Structure 1
Amino acid sequence: MREPDERKGFAGIVGHRDVVEHLQNAIRTGKVSHAYIIGGEKGSGKRLIAAIFAMTLQCQEHGTEPCQVCTSCRKMLSGNHPDVIYVTHEKPNTVSIDDIREQLVDDISIKPYESRYKIYIVDDASMMSPQAQNALLKTIEEPPAYAVILLLAENPDILLPTITSRCVTLRLKPVSDEEMKDYLMHQMHVPDYQAEIEASFAQGNIGKAKKAAESRDFMESVEYCVRIMKKAKQMEIYELVDAVKQLSSDKKSIYDKLDLFEMWFRDVLLFKATKEVDGLIFKEEINAISERAATSSYEGIQKIIEAIHVAADRLRANVNFDLTMELMFLTIKEN
């Protein structure tokens, strides 16, 4: 079975109203394109939007929302609709010419088994090799009347211009913190304070927010990071080294922790500038935030935020973990 969000149709999509309206309008007016590129970062909702669009196009009620109860919708929800094909790839970072030929190009001439359309959803489309894109080109130029091809791409700009010029490109923008918080509180039943932190942490990415809300460890990470930030200025060098050791025991989540450190110092900066609690993410830590704001200059806080960015860049470039963290903590301590 599919995720619960798919069962809510277009109405259940958080944010992306412009993209939803475009697709629903295309269905309403009968002007559905043969090829779309849906662009957005991992976790932004590309696959969910593509699935709901496909389900609505195939729905036997022919509305602008899937009815969820007809034979076609039920097949779509159970993941075995014969006329909706997910193009997969075995190599982790490449969609090869064989993947595109075998699953799409050679298959598209076979008419739909039972529906009005035959829909192909190509996940990770920005990983298509140039050869795979060229193999797809002729099909996109002269598709059968019943074909709809949905290319889901984290970075649509790296697709060949010959492909992009023949597709309707829809880009997913970041979801607002307000919409994100509302979704977390009312759909995922997350408490107010936690929803505020998770919405800000997700930076407009609904998948990231859901993952944080579903994780048992996320709020533990938040508490750990807050604890370190509260005492960072008073920490002795040996305590900094201990903190580095603790972080290095879970390198997978280090980028999340760096994001949380940055959120903390953005709160410090905001409070220093406004003296207001309302806009803060970590409202419950107002005493520690105001104390830090009083002892650090604007320039010092900017240096810290910059040091956190530099640490993330160094880790991505495989610079020594312990050294990178120690340099960052020293900047936090000294400023």
Structure 2
Amino acid sequence: MGFSSFQGNSAAVRMLRAAAEGRRPSHAYLLCGAQGLGKKTLARIFAQALLCGGGPKPCGRCGACVKFLKNAHPDFSVVKKPGDKTAILVEQVRAMREDVFIRPNESDWRVVLIEDADDMNLAAANALLKVLEEPPPYAVFLLTAKSRRALPETIVSRCVTLELFGVSAEEAAGWLKERLPGLEGEELWRAVRYGGGNLGKSLAFLEQDSVRRGYEQALALAKALTARREFDVLEALAPFDGDREGLRRLLSDFDGLLGRIAAAPFAPGDPDAEELSRRIQPIRAAALHDVIGEVREALQYNANCPLTAALLGARLKTVMEARAL
């Protein structure tokens, strides 16, 4: 996969392509955006292009590209959160820092990809800052994160920051049809609407039963709220009584649905949102969004999950019953 096959975000793609094809790259780049927008994919394309010995970069055929695609290039390394940990650890960053001062073996650059850099703990972030302040001349650091605000400003200020955004509905539909021949009709457009321009989310909706099930649960919660039957709301939240991660996913899906509901009066063509928008006006959707944000924050600080789910139901119901907002 090369730059030309990356969908959307043409300004970021042009900048990285130019850096790989002749201009001297910066010593650090930060790619920001929601999960599913392709941050890691674009970072890897850029890394491969920097190490590529052919052209146009990345050529996909030279020895360097073959090694890269087999995860065997000696001048490319990845730092990411261990599967059994909640953060990137300082020991990982220190080990990377020692390796990066060894000159490249086979290319002009030593490239380090730090996936989900916003998962670093404070000690790891401080260790990374030291090498970003005085990097070796041949090192290129690529960081990905959901938001630049999730990283210390001292790190952000030492990176070229590229924000990735979603694509248009038409671009998303075209990309999905290329990936999944035969996909069409309401199945296609329901996935496009769910993704909201996020290709990774749309693809997951089509390929993962758990993602579709999560959306249906968010839809059931919204319908329960519009029916204003307390038992229906409790029933919609019951599966998440002790499931912290499941509740987080529900909040994310429900929040995405609220955005579509708020936009429905101005952007027809979304049957799920249009039906709900008759009872959830934009101002009420905004108030529900605020509740979701508060509950998300509570979960982040290890609030009691069953109590939080019960509180969520009560808060959402209060917003729906309010006469004036």
Once the two structures are overlaid, the 10-residue window that deviates more, 240-249 or 206-215, is: 240-249
> Counterpart in 2 of 1:328?
316
Residue 143 to residue 232, structure 1, CA distance change in 2 (3 Å): closer
- Aligned match for 2:293, one of 313, 317, 330: 313
Residue 97 to residue 331, structure 1, CA distance change in 2 (3 Å): closer
**2:270 is equivalent to residue 281 of structure 1:** yes
SS in 1 for 2:113: strand
Shift in Å at residue 78 of structure 1? 1.6
What is the 5 A alignment of 1:119-158? 119-158=111-150
SS in 2 for 1:182: helix
SS in 1 for 2:209: coil
Work out the CA distance in 2 between the residues paired with 1:123 and 1:246.
32
Work out the CA distance in 2 between the residues paired with 1:130 and 1:139.
15
**2:170 is equivalent to residue 178 of structure 1:** yes
Shift in Å at residue 203 of structure 1? 3.4
- Aligned match for 1:35, one of 3, 28, 31: 28
**2:46 is equivalent to residue 46 of structure 1:** no
Query: Which structure: larger Rg?
Result: 1
> Counterpart in 1 of 2:108?
116
> Counterpart in 2 of 1:57?
50
Work out the CA distance in 2 between the residues paired with 1:256 and 1:129.
24
Question: Which ranges in structure 2 are unaligned for 5 or more consecutive residues?
Answer: none
- Aligned match for 2:184, one of 179, 185, 191: 191
Shift in Å at residue 24 of structure 1? 0.8
Q: Are the aligned partners of 1:232 and 1:333 in contact in 2 as well (CA < 8 Å)?
A: no
**2:152 is equivalent to residue 164 of structure 1:** no
Q: Are the aligned partners of 2:2 and 2:58 in contact in 1 as well (CA < 8 Å)?
A: yes
Q: Report the AA paired with residue 282 of structure 1.
A: P
Work out the CA distance in 1 between the residues paired with 2:203 and 2:293.
25
Q: Report the AA paired with residue 163 of structure 1.
A: I
Shift in Å at residue 311 of structure 1? 4.6
SS in 1 for 2:73: coil
- Structure 1 length as normaliser, TM-score? 0.75
SS in 2 for 1:150: strand
**2:84 is equivalent to residue 95 of structure 1:** no
Question: Which ranges in structure 1 are unaligned for 5 or more consecutive residues?
Answer: 1-7
How many residues matched? Answer: 310
SS in 2 for 1:74: helix
Work out the CA distance in 2 between the residues paired with 1:243 and 1:134.
43
**2:293 is equivalent to residue 301 of structure 1:** no
Work out the CA distance in 1 between the residues paired with 2:257 and 2:148.
31
Q: Are the aligned partners of 1:36 and 1:150 in contact in 2 as well (CA < 8 Å)?
A: yes
Residue 18 to residue 244, structure 1, CA distance change in 2 (3 Å): same
Q: Report the AA paired with residue 18 of structure 1.
A: A
Shift in Å at residue 116 of structure 1? 2.6
- Aligned match for 1:21, one of 4, 14, 23: 14
Percent identical among aligned pairs is 27
SS in 2 for 1:198: helix
Shift in Å at residue 179 of structure 1? 2.1
Shift in Å at residue 156 of structure 1? 2.5
RMSD across aligned C-alpha pairs, in angstroms? 3.5
Residue 256 to residue 214, structure 1, CA distance change in 2 (3 Å): farther
Q: Are the aligned partners of 1:36 and 1:149 in contact in 2 as well (CA < 8 Å)?
A: yes
Shift in Å at residue 111 of structure 1? 2.0
> Counterpart in 2 of 1:3?
none
Shift in Å at residue 51 of structure 1? 0.7
- Structure 2 length as normaliser, TM-score? 0.77
- Aligned match for 1:201, one of 189, 194, 197: 194
Shift in Å at residue 21 of structure 1? 0.2
Once the two structures are overlaid, the 10-residue window that deviates more, 308-317 or 210-219, is: 308-317
**2:241 is equivalent to residue 258 of structure 1:** no
Residue 240 to residue 34, structure 1, CA distance change in 2 (3 Å): closer
